[in-house]
Amino acid sequence: MSKEFIYVQHVQFGDCDPARIVWFPNFFRWIDASSRHFFAECGVPPWHETERTTGMLGTPLVDTHARFVKTASYPDVLHIHTSIAEWRTKSFVQRHRVMRPASGDLIMECDEVRIFAARRSEDPKSIYAVPIPQDIRRLCE
């Protein structure tokens, strides 16, 4: 079981396009913010700290799958419900459901596959997926 946290996003005028709805790339900006917000709320130290202490430098995205259900627009207030849907050996699935609480509508949902990454000591420009850190997993459950 995973914790779930809600990230609140106020849609702004400039987030919308000439069709008067949120231009879809903006959802991915907000989902990335919600991904980070989730770990912070779980009590995971920020990645610049874990990089110093354990070498783990963040959770790069390797795959994302989004389904757009209803449109949103300025000045909607959106709630992004974020949790971990699945832990794999070297990756995990973070699930984001973007809701508009005023109408009860699901706006879009997105499953992201992310890894925990560290730098190769022999080539600091190269990163690789480390096994799921068990202390971080425990904080998220």
Contact residues for its own copies (CB under 8 A)? Answer: 10, 12-14, 16-20, 23-26, 28-29, 32-33, 36, 40, 46, 57-58, 60-68, 74-75
Token pair of 115, please?
């890894």
Shortest Å, Cβ 1 to its own copies? 27
Pairing of strands 92-100, 56-58: unpaired
The residue (of 46 and 101) whose beta carbon lies closer to its own copies is 46
Token pair of 141, please?
């459950």
Shortest Å, Cβ 122 to its own copies? 18
Beta-carbon contacts of residue 121 (< 8 Å; ≥ 6 apart): none
The residue (of 1 and 102) whose beta carbon lies closer to its own copies is 102
Can you give the C-alpha Rg of the chain in angstroms?
A: 16
| Closest C-alpha among 65, 61, 78 to residue 6 | 78
Concerning whether 17 is annotated as a catalytic residue, the answer is: yes
Helix (H) or strand (E) holding 47: helix 47-53
Shortest Å, Cβ 2 to its own copies? 21
The residue (of 108 and 136) whose beta carbon lies closer to its own copies is 108
The residue (of 121 and 134) whose beta carbon lies closer to its own copies is 121
Shortest Å, Cβ 121 to its own copies? 18
Contact, 21 vs 70, CB < 8 A?
Answer: no
Enumerate the active-site residues: 17
